[in-house]
C-alpha cells in the first residue's frame, strides 16, 4: 500500500533493523523501544485490523503465531515476552498496518 511505512520496510524501500524475514513476515526493531528488547512482527500483506483479514491473511497470521515462538530465542526473548497487538485508534494504534509488538529481554512491569 502506498505511503505505508511498514509496507516500505517490508519491501526494503526504507531501512529498518531487520532480525528475521521470510515470504510472509518481517521482524524488525521498534524505533522507540519500550523494553530492553522491543521488536515488531509484521505481515508483508497490508491490512489494518484483525477485523479486516481475508482467509489468506488469517492463514498468514496463524503462521506468524506458529513462527514467533520458534524464532523468539534468536530475538533475545528466550525467557518470555509480551505480545501486544493494538487494534484501532482507541488502543493507540499509530501505524495502520497490522503488527505485533514483542516486548521482553528483561522482567516487564506487571
Q: What would the DSSP string read from start to end of 2-35?
A: TT-HHHHHHTTSS---EEEE-SSEEEEE-SS-SS
- Would you call 99 a catalytic residue per the annotation? yes
Question: Which of these ranges, 19-27, 57-65, 74-82, 85-93, lies near ligand AMP under the rule CB under 6 A?
Answer: 85-93
Q: Does 65 help bind ligand AMP (rule: CB under 6 A)? A: no
Question: Rounded CA gap, 41 and 44, in Å?
Answer: 10
Question: Rounded CA gap, 101 and 86, in Å?
Answer: 9
Q: Does 42 help bind ligand AMP (rule: CB under 6 A)? A: no
Query: Which residue in 3, 13, 32, 66 binds ligand AMP (CB under 6 A)?
Result: 32
Query: Which residue in 31, 58, 65, 78 binds ligand AMP (CB under 6 A)?
Result: 31
In the block, residue with C-alpha cell 533475545: 76
Give contact residues for ligand AMP (rule: CB under 6 A): 5, 16, 30-32, 40, 86, 92-95
Amino acid at each position: 500500500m502506498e505511503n505505508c511505512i511498514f509496507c516500505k520496510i517490508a519491501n526494503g524501500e526504507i531501512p529498518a533493523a531487520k532480525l528475521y524475514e521470510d515470504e510472509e513476515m518481517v521482524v524488525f526493531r521498534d524505533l522507540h523501544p519500550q523494553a530492553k528488547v522491543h521488536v515488531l512482527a509484521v505481515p508483508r500483506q497490508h491490512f489494518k485490523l484483525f477485523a479486516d483479514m481475508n482467509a489468506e491473511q488469517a492463514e498468514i497470521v496463524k503462521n506468524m503465531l506458529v513462527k514467533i515462538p520458534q524464532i523468539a530465542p534468536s530475538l533475545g526473548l528466550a525467557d518470555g515476552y509480551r505480545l501486544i497487538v493494538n487494534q484501532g485508534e482507541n488502543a493507540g494504534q499509530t501505524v495502520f498496518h497490522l503488527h505485533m509488538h514483542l516486548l521482553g529481554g528483561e522482567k516487564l512491569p506487571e
